[in-house]
Amino acid sequence: MIRVENLTKDYGSRRAISGLNFEAEQGEVVGFLGPNGAEETTTIRILTGYMPPTDGTAIVAGYDVVNESLEVRRRVGYLPETVPLYTDMTAVDYLQFMADLRHIPHSKDRAYEALKTVGLENRAESYIGSLSKGMRQRVGLAQALIHQPEVLILDEPTIGLDPAQVVEVRNVIKDIGKQRTVLLSTHILSEAQQICDRVLIINKGKIVAEDTPENLQSRLTGSERVSLLVRGEMDELPKVLNKIKGVQRVESMPNGSVEFQFAPGQDVRPEVAKTVIEAGYDLLEMRPVGMSLEEIFLELTREDRPVRRNKSRGEP
Ligand SMILES: Nc1ncnc2c1ncn2[C@@H]1O[C@H](COP(=O)(O)OP(=O)(O)OP(=O)(O)O)[C@@H](O)[C@H]1O
Ligand SMILES: [Mg+2]
């Protein structure tokens, strides 16, 4: 469980995080999504007890990250942005060492288990210095899992992994998320879509949206954008559409269709259908097009966009 209230962080005179509020429950994978510098890593460092907030509270696994940071660290597995590894230790020795630090019984067995979980059992005896970047990342993940923590906090966990490993690591994370609480940051929108139950989009230290990936998609788009396929004088079609009240952002697509938008609640589709037919076109298809998570993300983190926070679909 993670509970964050009014979390605020200043770096000198610059306010990095301002009044973050969110929760992550047991059995939930929550994704932090933001552009570079949105303060994901700053937030994660606070949640793992590595840096104090300027204001606000964060309770992780039932303990306060400021006043009870040792208790928090005991219960949290943390994969930092850059994993500090001892290059002159073998993978298994390093993990055993980390397990010993945490007073875990049967540390060697646990080290092997953790390596197996991240698909590195065949490199257990390799020196970390001789492992590839992706393999080191997996050693870092194994280190985060070794004490079977209640809460797992992962800063860009799949960065540097090859495609096959990405799939495997995502499955590992998803699996862990069924029982425990997982918070991860990622820039990969499809990753958020695949593994997160809920996504928090943050920009400049503020949450600009919070929802399931599916709801984010439909909330921001619904059936607002429509693809229209007709047969007839295509050059004239945008002009015809633009004359209809409520039709916005008409765009000719490379595949020969035309897309347009309308404001929520102003469904112009009946009028569009009537107009194009009256103008002599054959109407072949009209269907809603969902925005990709990429487009939603860009829309939400646009510089000139007023910051807002919606929890559920349909709020203004
Ligand atoms: N200790 C610090 N003192 C001052 N500024 C810092 C400190 N740590 C980070 N920052 C600044 O805070 C901003 C956000 O950093 P942070 O590492 O949280 O970004 P991020 O959202 O994780 O970005 P990325 O996606 O690139 O990892 C950056 O502008 C960074 O320079
Ligand atoms: Mg970061």
Q: Answer whether residue 35 shows pLDDT above 90.
A: no
Q: Answer whether residue 313 shows pLDDT above 80.
A: no
The one-letter amino acid at 86? Y
Looking at the DSSP assignment, which residues form a beta bridge with residue 200?
32, 210
Cβ(13) to ligand 1 under 6 A? no
Interatomic CA distance for residues 260 and 153, integer angstroms: 41
Cβ(203) to ligand 1 under 6 A? no
Q: Choose the weakest-confidence range: 12-16, 106-110, 297-301.
A: 297-301
CA nearest ligand 1 atom 30, residue: 37
Cβ(186) to ligand 1 under 6 A? no
Residues with CB under 5 A from ligand 2 (ion): 40-41, 81
Using alpha carbons, list the distances in angstroms from residue 95 to 52, 101, 156, 193, 238.
Answer: 27, 10, 20, 31, 63
The one-letter amino acid at 50? Y
Helix axis angle for 213-221 and 293-300, nearest 10°, is: 70
Q: How many CA atoms lie within 13 A of 288 on its CB side?
A: 14
Cβ(312) to ligand 1 under 6 A? no
Interatomic CA distance for residues 85 and 127, integer angstroms: 11
Mutate which of 20, 32, 42 for ligand 1? The one with the most ligand atoms within 8 Å of its CB, which is: 42
Task: Kindly report, residue by residue over 116-174, the tens digit of the pLDDT.
Answer: 999 899 999 999 999 998 899 999 999 999 999 999 999 999 988 888 889 888 998 99
Q: Which ligand is nearest to the CA of 52?
A: 1
Task: Say how many Å lie between the CA of residue 113 and the centre of ligand 2.
Answer: 28
Interatomic CA distance for residues 59 and 4, integer angstroms: 6
Interatomic CA distance for residues 112 and 99, integer angstroms: 11
At residue 311 the predicted structure's pLDDT band, cuts being 50, 70 and 90, is very low
Topology given in CATH for the domain delimited by 223-288: Alpha-Beta Plaits (3.30.70)
**Residue 111, both tokens:** 């080290």
CA nearest ligand 1 atom 13, residue: 37
Query: Which numbered atom of ligand 1 lies nearest the CA of 187?
Result: 25
Beta strand 258-261 with 225-231 is antiparallel
Average pLDDT of the chain, as a whole number: 88
Interatomic CA distance for residues 254 and 208, integer angstroms: 32
Task: Say how many Å lie between the CA of residue 171 and the centre of ligand 1.
Answer: 28
User: Which pLDDT score, from 0 to 100, does residue 156 have?
Assistant: 94
Cβ(27) to ligand 1 under 6 A? no
Q: Three-class SS of residue 287?
A: strand
Domain-wise residue ranges, the chain: 2-218, 223-288
User: Which pLDDT score, from 0 to 100, does residue 291 have?
Assistant: 62
Using alpha carbons, list the distances in angstroms from residue 200 to 34, 46, 155.
Answer: 8, 17, 14
Tokens 């949450």, located at residue: 207
Number of Cβ within a 10 Å radius of residue 64: 15
Topology given in CATH for the domain delimited by 2-218: Rossmann fold (3.40.50)
Cβ(52) to ligand 1 under 6 A? no
Cβ(50) to ligand 1 under 6 A? no
CA nearest ligand 1 atom 17, residue: 41
Helix axis angle for 91-101 and 107-117, nearest 10°, is: 120
What pTM value is reported for the model? 0.77
The one-letter amino acid at 106? H
Task: Say how many Å lie between the CA of residue 104 and the centre of ligand 2.
Answer: 30
By the 8 A CB rule, do 219 and 310 touch?
yes
Q: Which residues contact 300 (CB under 8 A, 6 or more apart)?
A: 201, 203, 208, 209, 220
In the chain, count H helices and then E strands.
11, 14
CA nearest ligand 1 atom 19, residue: 37
Q: Which ligand is nearest to the CA of 39?
A: 1
Cβ(48) to ligand 1 under 6 A? no
Task: Kindly report, residue by residue over 240-253, the tens digit of the pLDDT.
Answer: 999 999 998 899 99
